[in-house]
Amino acid sequence: MQKYVLRRLLLAVPVLLLSSLIVFSLMRVMPGDALIALMGESGNVGQKELAKLRKDLGLDRPYYEQYLLWLWQMVSLNPGDSIFTNEPIPVSLKKAIPVTVELATLAMIIGIAIAVPVGVLSATRQDKPSDYVGRVVAVSGLSIPDFWLGTLVITFSAIWVHWIPPIGYVSLWDSPWRNLQQFLLPAAVLGFRLSAATMRMTRSTVLETLREDYVRTAWAKGLAGRIVVYKHALKNALIPVVTLTGLQIGVLLSGAVIVETVFAWPGIGRLIIEAIHTRDYPLVQAAVVLMALLFVVVNQGVDLCYRWLDPRVAGRRG
Amino acid sequence: MSPVDASAPARPADVPAAPLAIEVTMRSRRFGLALKPAFGIVVGTALVLGTLVPGQIAPASPTDQQLAERLRPPAWMAGGTTSHLLGTDSLGRDVCSRVIYGARTTFLVALVSSLIGGIGGTGLGLLAGYHGGMLDELVRKLVDMQLAFPYLLLAISVMAVAGRSLPILVVVLALSSWPAFARIVRGEVLSLRERQFIEGARAIGCDDRRILLAHVLPGVTASLCVVWSFDLARVVVLESSLSFLGLGVQPPTPSWGMDLSESRQFLQIAYWTVLFPGLAISLVVLAANLVGDWVRDVLDPIVKRSRASV
């Protein structure tokens, strides 16, 4: 098991290196120099100052040197300062990470809390009205874009229910109740989006499992329906659902970028979008690589979790 | 009632009847089977019309600004006029016309990107599955790597650096499409290439290109249809997300995502400016998803193996 964990961790290194390389080359090789873009907008910077600034930022060195230098800065947790706000990048990131992590975690909990019960209900009452309702909810969850849903939810909660979440972000530790109120709407929008695919997956795997011989045996033994469905069938049916949840982490992080923008929420997603608009490339690079790191780490976690849930996987992969 | 159910022990009415799951209400299923493509055809026709002849349908020019008429409500509300059926936006542009012209942007961009990505992915999947070896290994690694990264972030970075431009947008979207195609096609080809008709084709002297294009490709078209309709839905959402973030097409080209984002601040006083573009996106994505579902239902035995793509 230890060997397996170690091997998985080693596998994550090339993925991270590759993504850092992609992000770096995008920022440098693409037409349009970051510095010219930055300074060009103010319009009154002379060639001399530009050259000096370029030298200070290390932009006059060859690309491979810049890349290695940047990689070293990232590894040593010192990616420099934002060129727009002059705040050290780790400080900005440290403020944004908990917001995104909390949003993603809550969204995932809400998503699963909607998806699994509705999926099971849909499967056990196949082709009944409740199944149709469940399926319509699922397919609309897949089809309604999160930025639209978010926008509508903000407005209609204010107009119809006269409820506006408390303004000004407070952390979970300072004021848990206020914080949860603030997170409710964004996490619900993101969670609803996530729940759609999970719901469909739960429905189809539960349907499949219910047709297995061992479930028929359980029925034949005279067990109560609830026990057959929840204890016998659901346990096995949920294994593919866990895999899907793992695969959805990419959707979750992408969704967080959108939802944070819609709700003006100070997470990593919004930080990236704002940094892009202010052409703050060091910050964009660092934040995107951090997102990739977060993604790879969580993915590895899900993989290990999966192995623990389904011992057959361990046997197959050795 | 199936015999299995008759022998099942008595249970309270609210307990789900598992063996009943086998019994299918044929009528409702047939209804569903007819409803899904019908919805797809209606939305598809509207999209094609909006793409080909928007000028004939739209009541006004999408970029024509009438500041005196700004934020006018839809025709059925107090203060609305029939000359602006769905009202006007903050610059006095006709919302109905923006939505109709927006179809062209969204549909063309999504269609072209998804086709490019689909053809590339299918080609790579065919070659990887058929030849195996190093190429197969490489394609699989590339697919895994790309799927192991939140693509929206990459798309955002590229669009931010390259600036808003239609060709780059298409490339970015196409690059997001290919892994799904490559993965599914490769899996199908792996089992197809062992079949006797392929062996027969080889025996009568077909070269690899002919075998792949004339014998293997038709065998994967069913799965391709399913993947493609889901991919189209995904690309439409990705395109409008990028436009929403201000990283899609260049204004004033009408685009649903961008219109929605620009009108967001007026939502409280003019909900129609946000409602209709969003509704258009949702309907198109819903139609593509439903058609994908329908094709999968119809082809179930063939496509079941690729269910992991949900």
Q: Which of residues 252-311 of A touch B (CB under 8 A)?
A: 253-254, 257-258, 261-262, 272-273, 276-277, 284, 288, 291-292, 295-296, 299
- What count of Cα atoms within 13 Å lies in the side-chain half-sphere of residue A130? 13
Domains of chain B (ranges; CATH) run 41-54+83-309 (1.10.3720.10)
Residue at B291: amino acid letter: V
Q: B239, B169 in Cβ contact below 8 A?
A: yes
Q: Which of residues 30-69 of A touch B (CB under 8 A)?
A: 30-32
Give SS3 for A88: strand
Least confident of A131-145, A223-237, B29-43, B284-298: B29-43
Q: How much of chain B, in percent, has pLDDT values that exceed 90?
A: 8
Q: B127, B182 in Cβ contact below 8 A?
A: no
Answer yes or no: do A253 and B4 touch at CB < 8 A: no
ipTM score above 0.85: no
- Distance, CA of A169 to CA of A175 (rounded, Å): 10
Tell me the chain B residues in contact with residue A142 when contact means C-beta distances shorter than 8 Å: 233, 285-286, 289
CB nearest A148 (choices: B18, B282, B290): B282
Tell me the chain B residues in contact with residue A139 when contact means C-beta distances shorter than 8 Å: 286, 289-290, 293
**pLDDT tens by residue, A150-198:** 888 888 887 777 777 766 677 777 777 888 888 888 899 999 988 888 8
- Distance, CA of B186 to CA of B200 (rounded, Å): 21
Answer yes or no: do B18 and A124 touch at CB < 8 A: yes
Q: B272, B86 in Cβ contact below 8 A?
A: yes
**pLDDT tens by residue, B170-229:** 988 998 899 989 988 998 888 888 888 888 988 998 888 888 888 888 888 888 888 888
Answer yes or no: do A158 and B268 touch at CB < 8 A: yes
Answer yes or no: do A151 and B278 touch at CB < 8 A: yes
In the predicted structure, residue A79 carries a pLDDT above the cut 50:
yes
Residue at B150: amino acid letter: P
- Distance, CA of A206 to CA of A115 (rounded, Å): 12
- Distance, CA of B261 to CA of B91 (rounded, Å): 14
3-state secondary structure chain B: CCHHHHHCCCCCCCCCCCHHHHCCCHHHHHHHHHHHHHHHHHHHHHHHHHHHCHHHHCCCCCCCCCHHHCCCCCCCCCCCCCCCCCCECCCCCEHHHHHHHHHHHHHHHHHHHHHHHHHHHHHHHHHHHHHCHHHHHHHHHHHHHHHCCCHHHHHHHHHHHHCCCHHHHHHHHHHHHHHHHHHHHHHHHHHHCCCHHHHHHHHCCCCHHHHHHHHHHHHHHHHHHHHHHHHHHHHHHHHHHHHHCCCCCCCCCCCHHHHHHHHHHHCCCCCHHHHHHHHHHHHHHHHHHHHHHHHHHHCHHHHHHHHHHC
Beta-bridged to residue A88, according to DSSP, are A81
What is the arithmetic mean of pLDDT over A137-158?
A: 85
Suggest the residue from A30, A118, A147 to mutate for an interface test with chain B (most B CBs closer than 10 A): A147
Q: Which of residues 237-256 of B touch A (CB under 8 A)?
A: 237, 240-241, 244-247
Q: B136, B186 in Cβ contact below 8 A?
A: yes
